[in-house]
């Protein structure tokens, strides 16, 4: 994103930052400790209309563009990564605005925008997440209804969301996307997973056992779901990168604060050259990741031919920055960094998943290499 354009979002970012400091960050430790959804942050986010940010006004949303989504996700994650993920999780349904029928848009999206319902998406399966097109969950039409069978693994908001966007096989080489409601016959949920981090965000299996839904619940063409999901993943990869960037920036903030307070050898540790070099390297990683992410958003908005490669570059750079900067920030806290008394311990645990989900960083590197060879 050009700097001038970014300037247009400065007030938006400042308002969000104040909101996060007041209504989100103060609850982050309790949410993590108690392993429960960030209810306080979710309730407060409603007053800003955040659940409806990417959706059109006609459906109750506020028509925020991708850059607004990225800034929102980043600022929320800076204060609480679980709250960021939970508040923005309904955005995975954005694709149905492009591909879904007017009826399905009206059914699903207005209550999501009003914060009365929550969304989730199910792509990953027990036999693998990296090989998305190896999905085995099936959807068969019996003339009037669709019947879905299969298990989706590691689904954020499973059991807690109302609407599930499910990726399922409709033929030997074709896939479709289906909207399943939590009260539909034949859907149930696995146990809540006990995770290293992101403990305020529920994760579980979605099990579809002869799950029967009306014909109108398919999104667009039931043979073109593979193509739709690749497009949807392009946007979500950028917001997931922003989530990681928020964690990286939040970790740097904590390191800056602590090193200017902690004294050793009669001076603050921020005065030691070895510490300053670490801070410089952390800042380098955060700013490089941010520049590439905003460039990737700009490319996406302009339909630039290099947009997909940049989305992968941004995902890797932002998540590697989150892991590296949070680890170094723990180091700069000394023994206190290892205690739950300081937020940096939680940030380091929360950071790890950002290198794994939404296409692991190894898979992103494969995509980057493929596109880089193709462009030479």
Q: Of 227, 345, 358, 371, which one is the catalytic site residue?
A: 358
Q: How many CB atoms lie within 10 A of CB 354?
A: 29
Q: Which stretch binds ligand FAD (CB under 6 A): 174-182, 288-296, 352-360, 368-376?
A: 352-360
Report the residue from 122, 150, 200, 225 that binds ligand FAD according to the rule CB under 6 A.
122
Name every residue whose Cβ is closer than 8 Å to that of residue 172 and which is 6 or more positions away in sequence.
none
**Closer residue to ligand FAD, CB minimum distance, 170 or 354:** 354
3-state helix, strand, coil in the chain (%, to 5): 60, 15, 25
For the question of residue 358 being annotated catalytic, the response is yes
Contacts of 242 (CB under 8 A, 6+ apart): 69, 70, 71, 73, 74, 77, 293, 318
CA dihedral 233, 199, 83, 19 (to 10 degrees): -150
| Of 358, 375, 300, residue with least CA distance to 129 | 358
Contact string 357-376 vs ligand FAD (x = CB under 6 A): xx-x-xx--x----------
Q: How far is the CB of 224 from ligand FAD (least distance, A)?
A: 19
Closest separation between CB of residue 28 and ligand FAD, Å?
Answer: 17
d(CA 240, CA 249): 14
Give the residue with the Cβ less far from ligand FAD, 38 or 337.
38
Show the site string, 184-223: x = touches ligand FAD by CB under 6 A, - = not.
-----------x--x----x--------------------
Relative orientation angle of helices 81-88 and 343-352, to the nearest 10 degrees: 50
Query: Can residue 137 be called a binding residue for ligand FAD (CB under 6 A)?
Result: no
Using CB under 6 A as the binding rule, the residues of this chain from 141 to 160 that contact ligand FAD are 154-156
Annotated active-site positions, please?
358
Which residues of the chain form contacts with ligand FAD (CB under 6 A)? 120-124, 128-130, 154-156, 195, 198, 203, 353, 356-358, 360, 362-363, 366
């Amino acid at each position: 994103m050009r700097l001038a354009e970014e300037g247009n979002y400065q007030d938006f970012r400042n308002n969000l930052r104040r909101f996060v400091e007041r209504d989100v960050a103060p609850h982050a430790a309790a949410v993590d400790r108690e392993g429960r959804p960030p209810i306080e942050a979710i309730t407060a986010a409603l007053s800003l209309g955040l659940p409806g940010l990417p959706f059109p006004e006609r459906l109750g949303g506020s028509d925020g563009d991708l850059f607004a989504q990225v800034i929102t996700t980043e600022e929320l994650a800076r204060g609480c990564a679980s709250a960021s993920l939970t508040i923005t999780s309904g955005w995975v349904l954005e694709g149905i605005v492009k591909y879904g029928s007017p009826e399905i848009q009206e059914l699903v999206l207005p209550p999501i925008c009003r914060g009365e319902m929550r969304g989730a998406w199910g792509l990953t399966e027990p036999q693998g997440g990296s090989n998305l097109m190896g999905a085995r969950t099936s959807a068969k039409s019996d003339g009037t209804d669709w019947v879905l069978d299969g298990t989706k693994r590691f689904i954020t908001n499973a059991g807690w969301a109302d609407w599930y966007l499910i990726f399922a096989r409709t033929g030997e080489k074709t896939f479709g996307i289906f909207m399943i409601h939590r009260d539909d016959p034949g859907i149930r949920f696995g146990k809540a997973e006990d995770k290293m981090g992101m403990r305020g965000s529920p994760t579980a299996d979605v099990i579809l056992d002869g799950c029967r839904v009306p014909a109108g619940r398919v999104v667009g063409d039931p043979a073109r779901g593979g193509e739709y999901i690749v497009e949807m993943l392009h946007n979500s990869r950028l917001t997931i990168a922003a989530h990681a960037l928020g964690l990286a920036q939040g970790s740097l903030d904590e390191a800056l604060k602590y090193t200017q307070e902690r004294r050793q050898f009669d001076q603050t540790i921020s005065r030691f050259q070895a510490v300053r070099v670490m801070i410089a390297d952390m800042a380098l990683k955060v700013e490089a990741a941010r520049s590439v992410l905003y460039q990737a958003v700009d490319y996406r908005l302009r339909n630039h031919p290099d947009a997909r490669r940049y989305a992968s570059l941004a995902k890797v750079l932002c998540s590697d920055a989150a892991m590296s900067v949070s680890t170094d920030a723990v180091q700069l806290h000394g023994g206190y960094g290892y205690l739950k008394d300081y937020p940096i311990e939680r940030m380091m645990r929360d950071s790890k998943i950002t290198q794994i989900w939404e296409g692991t960083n190894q898979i992103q590197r494969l995509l980057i290499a493929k596109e880089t060879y193709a462009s030479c």
